[in-house]
Amino acid sequence: MLDGFGFFFDESDLSATDKEVIKTISTFSASVDDVDVYLEEFNQTLYNAGLGEVLDEANRQPEAHNEENS
């Protein structure tokens, strides 16, 4: 992913986790009866699939990039 500062997210260390998170996203339906229950379950399932790890890395890399290029 490219942001406005020329940074590319390197997902090579997360490829299996990325795939699991994407697979999890594709299993959920847009048709729900209770949105609050749906979102709670959806978020928990994403975190169980490794979303926290992906977010940590997505935050770490730009910080490292900025430190190296400041």
Pair 51, 18: CB distance under 8 Å: no
Identify whether 22 is part of a domain. yes
Please provide the DSSP assignment of 44-70 as one string.
HHHHHHTHHHHHHHHHHHHHHHHHHT-
- The whole-number pLDDT of residue 3 equals 53
Identify whether 5 is part of a domain. no
- How many domains would you assign to the chain? 1
Q: Which two tokens stand for residue 11?
A: 């997902």
Identify whether 19 is part of a domain. yes
- The whole-number pLDDT of residue 18 equals 84
Distance (Å, whole) CA 9 – CA 27: 25
**pLDDT digits over 7-31, tens only?**
787 888 888 888 889 888 888 877 8
**pLDDT digits over 26-62, tens only?**
888 778 889 899 899 999 999 999 999 999 988 898 8
Distance (Å, whole) CA 52 – CA 38: 19
Q: What is the pTM of this model?
A: 0.69
- The whole-number pLDDT of residue 2 equals 47
